[in-house]
Amino acid sequence: MKTNEEYESVADRIKSAQPRVHSDLTDTARERLLMITSNPTRAKTTEKYLLPETCIELAIRETCESVGTSPIESKYNETHSSYGKHSVIIEECNRDAVLTYVENLLREIHDSQPVRWNYNSFPDNPNERLHLVRSGLEQTVEKVNTAMETEGILWKLKDDNNEFNFYPIGSELMQNSDQELSVIGQGERWSSVISPYNEAYNQYLDRTYDWTIPEKLYNSIEELCRTICVDLERWENNREQNLSVYLETMRENDLFEPNNIMMAELTDLSKSMERTFQKAGAERKNRHSEIDREYATLLLHQVSAYLTYLIRQYEEKFE
């Protein structure tokens, strides 16, 4: 008997499956970036801004040279203070302008002279003052990346010998595939399939990158194949078969037609994940060192795409 959940409107289902990752900056991510960059030295102070105006103006000039003046100046043409411009850029400009500005700002801060940091909360000695600024920048990079990770923003800030650069670790395709899979998984039929995938994703958002992520993603693929082959179509009567058996059964029943290459790709992916969590699981000390954010991002993107493909293929061919 069907539950009421299966009769939810498309609008309701989409609302309940909001994106968990983003290629663009969310409002919350912008707010956090603004707070972090307003005190880049991590000094203990009650001041809202602990940032030399000269650094702001130089960073703005360099950003305009890179992205043009219109995306920047059009946002703050009524704002005359440097601090006001700093806020407006991060809160309102497009993603590329914001990330470029933050890169330039951190570079200017690192290269600045101690005299620019003559605040009451700073040491009087110029060398100590400069050391405070640069050591604080290291923490700022960490805080920026923490904000990006916890907000699900698919960008990472890297300090390459005091050259601060953002680089993408995913794409809009990852955001789209995850959102599509979340919508598909709203019904009761696929809940057991999506559950381990969601667990892996929540772990990813919690920034716990270890061997359990590929294991849970593998479990989602295995459960989908088992659900189709055993529960829905009765092509197999054994729920304890290896994944390879289920994949071959699905191929024999034309689920992969006309794209049999997808089966080979999915087989390679599942074997790779299985090897990863078996190897890491055997050596506890290796668990965190072998899985990083980039690899976890790649796995989540691939698995969400394959799960969506298989579910769509099944619903189109056998319903």
Per-residue pLDDT tens over the stretch 188-211: 889 999 999 999 998 988 889 988
pLDDT band at 157 (very low <50, low <70, confident <90, very high): very high
Claim to verify: residue 159 and residue 188 sit in the same structural domain:
no
Same domain, 59 and 153: yes
Confidence band for 94, pLDDT divided at 50, 70 and 90? very high
Domain's final residue, options 145, 168, 191: 168
Residue 163 domain flag: yes
Phi, psi at 164, each rounded to 5°: -90, 120
In-domain check, residue 79: yes
Torsion of CA 54, 56, 62, 65, to 10 degrees: -120
Domain membership flag for residue 200: yes
Specify the residue for token string 């983003």.
22
Residue 257 inside a domain? The answer is yes
Task: State how far the Cα of 203 lies from the Cα of 293, in Å rounded to an integer.
Answer: 11
Same structural domain, 265 and 138:
no
Q: What is the pLDDT of residues 292-305, one digit of tens each?
A: 888 898 899 889 98
Query: Do residues 92 and 190 both lie within one domain?
Result: no
pLDDT digits (tens, 9 = 90+) for 222-241: 999 999 999 999 999 999 99
Look at residue 93 and tell me if it is in a domain.
Answer: yes
Reduced to 3 DSSP states, what percent helix, strand and coil does the chain have, rounded to the nearest 5? 65, 5, 30
Match 């459960």 to its residue by tokens: 223
* pTM score, whole prediction: 0.73
More confident residue, 74 or 59: 59
Residues 235 and 117 in one domain: no
Q: Are residues 212 and 286 in the same domain?
A: yes
Query: Are 140 and 222 members of one domain?
Result: no
Q: Are residues 178 and 303 in the same domain?
A: yes
User: Could you tell me if 150 and 212 lie in one domain?
Assistant: no
Q: What is the pLDDT of residue 205?
A: 84
> Which residue range(s) make up the domain with 142?
27-168
Asked whether residue 3 is domain-assigned, the answer is no
Domain stops at, among 168, 188, 209: 168
pLDDT attached to residue 5: 47
Residue 10: exposed, middle, or buried by beta-carbon count in 10 A (0-12, 13-18, 19+)? exposed
Any domain includes 1: no
How many angstroms separate the CA atoms of 290 and 285, rounded? Answer: 10
Domains in the chain: how many in total?
2
56 and 141 fall within a common domain? yes
Band (pLDDT 50/70/90 cuts) for residue 283 is low
> In terms of domains, do 38 and 158 share one?
yes
Claim to verify: residue 74 and residue 42 sit in the same structural domain: yes
Please identify, among 117, 147, 168, the residue that sits at the C-terminal boundary of a domain.
168
